[in-house]
Structure 1
Amino acid sequence: MLYTFLPIAKTLSIFVKMKRLISYIIVILGIFPLIGCSTPRISSVNASSPTLLHENENINGEWEGLLTFQEGILSVKDPAFRTLQYRLVLGSSEAQVFAKNTISGVWEEAMPQLFRVSRTGSNAVLQATDSGKDEDGTWVETWIFVLTNRSTEELQVEFVRMVNNIDLPISVPGKVFSYGGSGKFVKLRGR
């Protein structure tokens, strides 16, 4: 007699578990928008439309600030390189990036003529990738700056640098490394 009720009991048990799982999913879906875990808004508006760029969101011009670096795959242990000064010169589709040499104090351009700008409204991304050869063989390096207006005179800047020494074996420290930093930049002059 007990054997005839086992399939029914298993079916009921599965049903209860499924009902509990569905209630968890409903609760999670209801909470995500409240805690900011929502999907980015997707729009069919043309990104070059002038209505997306407000007058106070113009980031063209010359900006300068300090980036404070966090540890990445290759940690930035030397305190002299934890905070570095950068200058960004932004045009509509191109950019120049300068880093201040901590020893000589001279501004040096990083990846000349390689930075490109992608923007929508108050936000922009500066990106450059380069490749070359040194004593370790071939390297590929990418720099990315993500910018947004804090005000007409201040930007919030996030930076990531990623390097791959593609000829080195994976066992060599420094074959692939990255680090990132963030900071606030002030406008030196408009463009």
Structure 2
Amino acid sequence: MWRKWEFLNPRPFACKTNTLPLRHFPMYAIMTLNQNLFIPAKLLNNQLKSTLIAQLITLTEGLPFGNVGSIIMIINIDNQKLYGKILPGFSSVLFKVNFQAVVLKIFKGEIIDAIVKNITSFGIFASAGILNIFISNKFISQDLISQQSQTLFNFKNSTINIKKNDIIRCKILNLKYNTGSIQAIGCIDDKYLGKL
């Protein structure tokens, strides 16, 4: 599905003591990908190139692309290899389009910042762009007490609380790629995690 990674701002592999661990791979990368596009025969005219670009952007930008990650933006399209293939029995032409895109790739164990969208009796729902994160009560610090009447979490012996639209730092425990979004299970029961 992809041919190469070009890393944006690669980070070192070592980490200092008493700090958050640094990532081995950057969160954003430029990748060379390809996509098959089916163009109906009625759109085979002198504006075919702009039709291909529009359909490519519609099908890929802002959406997960297999297990590669989420395509943020298409930055280059290979115009020299835009040859169509007529498929017997179909009224469409198949184009295999090669392109470069900025891709958001999230890994298990990564620590990211997210915005709290909802708090329920089951836990916290947060989002970081296309990534939807659920933090179960099991993975919330024992110092936090849930108050259902106000839908917030309060710290014991403190006035600090987590409520809707707060920014939290969480660790990704598991990922699931869906058609229109990426879902994750997160944790804020660790050092340096929680409300920012």
Under a length normalisation based on structure 2, what TM-score does the superposition of the two structures give? 0.22
Higher Cα Rg: structure 1 or 2?
Answer: 1
> Higher RCO, 1 or 2 (CA under 8 Å, sep at least 6)?
1
Pick the structure with more helix per residue. 1
